[in-house]
Amino acid sequence: MLTVILTILLFMILVIPHEFGHFITAKLCGVQVNEFSVGMGPSLFHKQKGETQ
């Protein structure tokens, strides 16, 4: 069970900065970003900041 939890945490540590890089690149290139999210499925947490949810 601990291995599964550590694997998920490690995966998130890799994925979140990767996706944030896409977000920053889009903003720098003038592309409107409607939503920044990691994963699929229903939203567990959301926050609106400017034009991006």
> So what's the pLDDT on residue 42?
77
CB 52 within 8 A of CB 33: yes
Six-digit token string for 22:
């896409």
pLDDT digits (tens, 9 = 90+) for 10-39: 999 999 999 899 999 999 999 998 888 877
Residues with a known catalytic role: 19
Q: What is the pTM of this model?
A: 0.72
Adjacent-strand bridge partners of 49: 52
Instruction: Check whether 45 has a pLDDT greater than 90.
Output: no
Q: How far is the CA of 24 from the CAs of 18, 28, 41, in angstroms?
A: 10, 6, 23
Using DSSP, state whether 30 is helix, strand or coil.
coil
Can you list the alpha helix ranges (DSSP code H) found in 1-53? 2-28
Six-digit token string for 46:
């959301």
